[in-house]
Amino acid sequence: MSRLVFCLVLCLLCAGQQIVATAAATIQVPKQSDSSAVAFDFVPLPDDVTGAESLAFDRRGQGPYAGISDGRVLKWGGSARGWTTFAYSTSYAHNPSCKASPARPGDAEDVCGRPLGLQFNVRTGDLYIADAYHGLLKVGPAGGEAKVLAAKADGGAFTFVNGVDVDQSTGDVYFTDSSMSYTRRHNTQILLNRDSSGRLMKYDARAKRVIVLKDALPYPNGVAVSADRTHVVVAHTGPCQLFRYWLKGPKAGTYELFADLPGYPDNIRRDTRGGYWVALNREKIDGEAAAAGKHIVGVRLDSKGVQRDEMMAEDKSVTLSDVSEKDGKLWLGSVELDYVGLVDQRSLD
C-alpha cells in the first residue's frame, strides 16, 4: 500500500488576478529509497465563504462545481475567470438576506440552503444537488434557480440530505438522508446519540418518485454507484465504515459491510480504476493512525473494498470531505476550509 503525504504549507501568495496559489507538497511512497516533492495548488474560494463540501464536473469536463456555505453552487472557470455563481435554491433567490454581505450568520443556512453532494447526469447536463435543508434539487445545464425534485419519502420529510450519485445509464439518482432526527447544524448529535434514523434512497428518473432502499441507518453520508452498476456503496460516518447495497444479481436488496475505514468518511467517489476515493474528516480517535501520529484525510480502495492508498496531511487542521479524480488530477474539497486543493497524480509516478 502506498502512502501519499500532502504537506499543506503555503509558499506563494495570490497576487492581482492570479487565483491559484501554489504550495509545497511532499509525496512519500514506501519501499522507495527516496521521496520527492511536487506542486500542490490551492484554489481559494471567494471572500466570506467556505466549505466546498462536494465537487463535480459537467459533461464537457468543465469545473469543478462546488456547493458553498452561503447556499450557492459555484463554477470554477480557471484562474482568468475565477469562481462564478452557477445555481441556488428558490429560497436563496427570493430572500435578500441570503445575498447580504458580509457573509450571513451560519444559522441561516436552513433558510438559504446548504448544497452538499453534487453530481451531473452527463447525458442531459442536469446537475443534481443534495441540499441539506431543501431536499434533492435539480438544475439544468445553464444553471440558475434549482427546483426541488423531492423533499420527503414514505411520508417522512427529509431532515439532512447529504450524498448523491447518478446512474449514468438509467438516470436514476441515489442519495442519502443522514438523519430523520437531526439537521446538518446539529450533526454532532447524530454521533453523540448514536442516531440510526438515516436512509438510503433512489429517485426513479422515469417514474419521478423516491423509493426508500434502506432505512434505520447510522449516519449515511456519501454514496457512489459502482463502475459495473451492480451495487451502490454508502459511507457511514459514525461507524467509520462503507456498506454495499446490491441493485442487481442474486444479492439484490442486500445491505452488507464493504470496508472498515481508519477514519470518519464523508463523500465517496469512483476512481479511474474501478475503485473509490473516500474523503475522511479525521482519523479514528482510538485507531492505529492516531496512535502513530498520522493525520489521514483520504483513502483509496479497490473494487473489492481493499485499501490501496492513504492520503495524509501534516497540518492537523486540514480535513477533507471530497477527493475527486479528473484527468489525472485529484481535486480536494473540504466542508471546513476556504479553498479547494489540487494535486497532479502524474507527478507521483
Phi-psi region of 333 (alpha: psi -120 to 50; beta: other; left: phi over 0): beta
Question: Are 69 and 336 a contacting pair, CB within 8 Å?
Answer: no
Cα–Cα nearest to 237, from 306, 340, 162, 310: 162
Q: What number of other Cβ atoms are within 10 A of residue 230's Cβ? A: 14
Phi, psi of 150, deg, nearest 5 = -155, 140
pLDDT score recorded for residue 294: 83
Q: Which amino acid is at 178?
A: S
Global confidence as pTM: 0.91
Q: What is the pLDDT along the chain (349 residues), one digit of tens a residue?
A: 566 665 544 333 333 333 455 444 443 333 333 333 344 688 999 998 999 999 999 999 999 999 999 999 999 999 899 999 999 999 999 998 888 754 444 568 999 999 999 999 999 999 999 999 999 999 999 999 999 999 999 989 999 999 999 999 999 999 999 999 999 999 999 999 999 999 999 999 999 999 999 999 999 999 999 999 999 999 999 999 999 999 999 999 999 999 999 999 999 999 999 999 999 998 998 888 777 888 899 999 999 999 998 888 878 888 999 999 999 999 999 999 999 999 887 655 5
* Block residue for cell numbers 420527503: 152
Q: Which amino acid is at 347?
A: S
pLDDT score recorded for residue 6: 55
pLDDT score recorded for residue 7: 55
Question: Are 137 and 146 a contacting pair, CB within 8 Å?
Answer: yes
Q: What is the DSSP letter of 159?
A: S
Write out 274-333 in H/E/C secondary structure.
CCEEEEEEEECCCCHHHHCCCCEEEEEECCCCCEEEEEEECCCCCCCCEEEEECCEEEEE
- Cross-sheet strand order for the sheet of 147-150: 115-120, 127-131, 135-139, 147-150
Question: Which domains does the chain possess?
Answer: 46-313 (2.120.10.30)
- Cross-sheet strand order for the sheet of 255-260: 220-225, 231-236, 241-246, 255-260
Q: Got the DSSP string for 91-157? A: HHHH-GGGG-SSPPPGGGHHHH--EEEEEE-TTT--EEEEETTTEEEEE-TT-EEPEEEESEETTEE
Phi, psi of 229, deg, nearest 5 = 65, 20
